[in-house]
Amino acid sequence: MPPESDDNLHLEIGHVLFIDIVGYSKLLIEEQKERLNQLTEIVLATKQAGFIEHLTKPVEWDRLQNAVERLLSRRRSLEP
């Protein structure tokens, strides 16, 4: 993406929720499955609340950059 001049720059507000399962690898398999089920429920609830992007760790730079570009493009398409 080409650099923009200072005249074309403006701030955007983004909301990000990070969820980490501490000690996941030390849990028993059944406990890991339960935690994943809980995480799936959280993701579904966030979608119902209006979140439109979800990234998982480790976050790949290309996926993050593409998500930001999609969100900015969506925002620009909604502007009058």
Q: Is the pLDDT of residue 52 over 80?
A: no
**pLDDT tens string 15-25:** 666 777 788 88
Q: Is the pLDDT of residue 3 over 70?
A: no
**Amino acid at position 60, single letter:** E
Q: Is the pLDDT of residue 30 over 90?
A: yes
3-state secondary structure of 79: coil
**Nearest-angstrom CA–CA distance, 28 and 71:** 37
Q: Is the pLDDT of residue 28 over 90?
A: yes
* pLDDT at site 4: 55
| DSSP category for residue 24 | G
Confidence band of 39 (pLDDT split at 50, 70, 90)? confident
